[in-house]
């Protein structure tokens, strides 16, 4: 399951099918940090917190930064690929605090180890 296939499922507005595709993509890209990060950016772009849960559990950092330093929150706000797809009502509002709390927990763990 590649990125284009998942984007296509988002385009058909079938979030259930998309959510089923993420575990397959995660398994296929195990050990490939860049590919998993791309999946996380896609999930953030489409405001899909359930997919982000799967990706964080697979080891993607909530603090991951893409080109130019964009984080998952930046991508969520920018809506690059998703600008032509109607998101479910409240999806962005649901995804934003999830990204923030997960990221805060990561930083809290990092500070206690130092």
Residue 22 is predicted with a pLDDT of 96
pTM of the predicted model as reported, rounded to 2 decimal places: 0.82
CB atoms within 10 A of CB 10: 23
pLDDT of residue 112 exceeding 70, the answer is: no
The number of folded domains in the chain is 1
- Let me know: does 25 contact 39? Beta carbons within 8 Å: yes
What SS3 state is found at 65? strand
Give me the CATH number covering residue 64: 1.25.40
H helices present in 1-114, as ranges? 3-11, 15-28, 33-45, 49-57, 72-78, 91-113
Across the chain, mean pLDDT equals 83
Q: How many residues does the chain have?
A: 114
Residue 74 is predicted with a pLDDT of 85
Q: Please indicate whether residue 2 or residue 83 has the higher confidence score (pLDDT).
A: 2
Residue 108 is predicted with a pLDDT of 55
Going by pLDDT thresholds of 50, 70 and 90, the confidence category of residue 24 is very high
Residue 77 is predicted with a pLDDT of 80
Give the span between the Cα atoms of 66 and 6, in whole angstroms. Answer: 19
Q: Kindly report, residue by residue over 31-48, the tens digit of the pLDDT.
A: 999 999 999 999 998 999
- Note down the domain range covering 32: 3-113
Which of these, 58, 78, 81, lies nearest to 10 by C-alpha position? Answer: 81
């Amino acid at each position: 399951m590649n990125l284009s296939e998942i984007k296509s499922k988002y385009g058909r507005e079938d979030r259930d099918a998309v959510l089923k595709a993420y575990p397959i993509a995660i398994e296929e890209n195990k050990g490939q940090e860049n590919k998993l990060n791309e999946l996380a950016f896609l999930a953030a772009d489409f405001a899909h917190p359930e997919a982000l849960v799967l990706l964080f559990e697979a080891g993607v950092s909530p603090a991951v930064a893409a080109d130019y330093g964009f984080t998952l929150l930046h991508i969520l706000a920018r809506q690059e690929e998703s600008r032509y797809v109607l998101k479910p009502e409240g999806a962005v509002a649901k995804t934003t605090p999830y990204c923030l709390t997960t990221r805060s927990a990561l930083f809290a763990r990092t500070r206690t180890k130092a």
